[in-house]
Chain A
Amino acid sequence: MALPTDEQLIAQIRGGDLQSLETLYDRYKDQIYRTALAITRDQQAAEDILQDCFLRLHANIDRLDGSVPIAPWLYRVTVNLSYNWHARGRRWIHSLEGVIEGLVSGPQTSPERQAERRELKDIVQRAIDSLSFNQRAVVVLFYLGGFSLEEIAYILDCPVGTVKSRLHYARRNLRRWLEKEGYWRPEVVYEFS
Chain B
Amino acid sequence: MSSRDRHGRPIGESPAQDDLDHLFRWGLQRLVGLARPPAHIWQRIERQLRAGPSPSRRPSRRSTWRMASLAQALALISLLAVLGMNLSSGFLWSPYLYERNERGMLTRTPAAWQVEGIPLLGDEGLLNGRQTRLLARELERERRAIAHDIAPGEDPILKHRHEWRRMEGEP
Contacts and interface: CB of A to CB of B under 8 A. Distances in A.
B31 A59 contact: no
Contacts, number: 124
Contact of A100 (B31, B36, B41): B31
Contact of A192 (B23, B49, B56): B23
Interface stretch (B14-22, B68-76, B88-96): B14-22
B37 A144 contact: no
Interface string A125-136: 101100000000
B2 to A, nearest CB: 23
Contact of B37 (A47, A104, A140): A47
Given A38-B32, A58-B49, A60-B56, 10 more contacts: A47-B38, A51-B44, A52-B56, A59-B56, A103-B35, A117-B30, A124-B24, A124-B30, A171-B17, A190-B19
A91 B44 CA distance: 24
Given A34-B33, A56-B56, A189 B27 contact: no
5 contacts: A25-B45, A38-B32, A55-B56, A56-B54, A103-B35
Interface residues of A, number: 47
A100 B36 CA distance: 11
A174 B56 CA distance: 36
B46 interface: yes
A139 B24 CA distance: 8
A116 interface: no
Contacts of A190: 19, 22-23
